[in-house]
A and B are shown apart, each in its own frame.
Chain A
Amino acid sequence: EPEVTQTPSHQVTQMGQEVILRCVPISNHLYFYWYRQILGQKVEFLVSFYNNEISEKSEIFDDQFSVERPDGSNFTLKIRSTKLEDSAMYFCASSGGQRGGYGYTFGSGTRLTVV
């Protein structure tokens, strides 16, 4: 079964450092997403990406965040200057179509710990 792959599985970084979280979506999917989940809280939408541009972003996705699809396979989330409150699980997802409920596949996540 096709998978969304995320690396690294766990990243520890110092406050103020830049981090890049990487994702390889399912190859024929067109819509890409980042969600995050702070420990003990609900999964929250960060950003959606289609046709090489951001479709929508939440209020969490401020100027410290950016996304990129640098080549045909990778989809990255960059946090420029990490804060303690950025510590969370970050999930990448992709879907084949907008009404993507069925085709929405999540990666196994990157646990980001900011110290």
Chain B
Amino acid sequence: RKEVEQDPGPFNVPEGATVAFNCTYSNSASQSFFWYRQDCRKEPKLLMSVYSSGNEDGRFTAQLNRASQYISLLIRDSKLSDSATYLCVGMDSSYKLIFGSGTRLLVRP
């Protein structure tokens, strides 16, 4: 299995919609997990860490299911400014980041 795998999208949703992204990971990328956001030709920026108990930051909710090796990100009330690529990222046992290929989100007016 690829270390971190995501659906590339694009997800094309209207403003105000709720959208969910999923990601699966292999054992080699399973130390910690994060969601990063990347705008076109810019650096990745940390959106949020992902905890086993699930965590929320405003409109964003992240969930981790270790049994299924599955991570999700839910965005509620999508804004135009949420349009970006969302990167699912694992950290391996040597603390380097393992990136997924990213899921593109397009929020339309």
Which residues from chain A sit less than 8 Å from chain B, CB to CB? 31, 33, 35, 41-45, 48, 55-56, 89, 91, 98-102, 104, 106-109, 111
Name the CB-closest residue of A to B4. Answer: A42
Apart from A33-B96, A42-B102, A101-B97, list 4 A-B contacts with CB within 8 A. A43-B99, A101-B91, A109-B41, A109-B43
Q: Are A102 and B96 in contact (CB under 8 A)?
A: no
Which of B42, B43, B95, B102 is the one whose CB lies under 8 Å from A100? B95
Looking at chain B, what size class is its interface with the partner chain?
20 to 34
Q: Are B34 and A101 in contact (CB under 8 A)?
A: yes
Q: Are A108 and B99 in contact (CB under 8 A)?
A: no
Q: How many whole Å from B51's CB to the nearest CB in chain A? A: 11
Q: How many whole Å from B76's CB to the nearest CB in chain A? A: 24
Cα–Cα, bound, A99→B100 (Å): 19
Please tell me if B63 contacts chain A, counting CB pairs below 8 Å.
no
Interface of A is mostly: strand
Q: How many whole Å from A108's CB to the nearest CB in chain B? A: 5
Please tell me if B44 contacts chain A, counting CB pairs below 8 Å.
yes
Cα–Cα, bound, A29→B30 (Å): 24
Chain A residues near B42 (CB-CB < 8 A):
108-109
Please tell me if B62 contacts chain A, counting CB pairs below 8 Å.
no
Chain B residues near A42 (CB-CB < 8 A):
87, 99-102
Chain B residues near A107 (CB-CB < 8 A):
43
Q: How many whole Å from B108's CB to the nearest CB in chain A? A: 23
Cα–Cα, bound, A108→B41 (Å): 9
Please tell me if B45 contacts chain A, counting CB pairs below 8 Å.
yes
Could you give 6 example pairs across A and B, Cβ below 8 Å?
A31-B95, A42-B102, A44-B99, A45-B96, A101-B91, A109-B42
Q: Are A43 and B44 in contact (CB under 8 A)?
A: yes
Q: How many whole Å from A40's CB to the nearest CB in chain B? A: 9
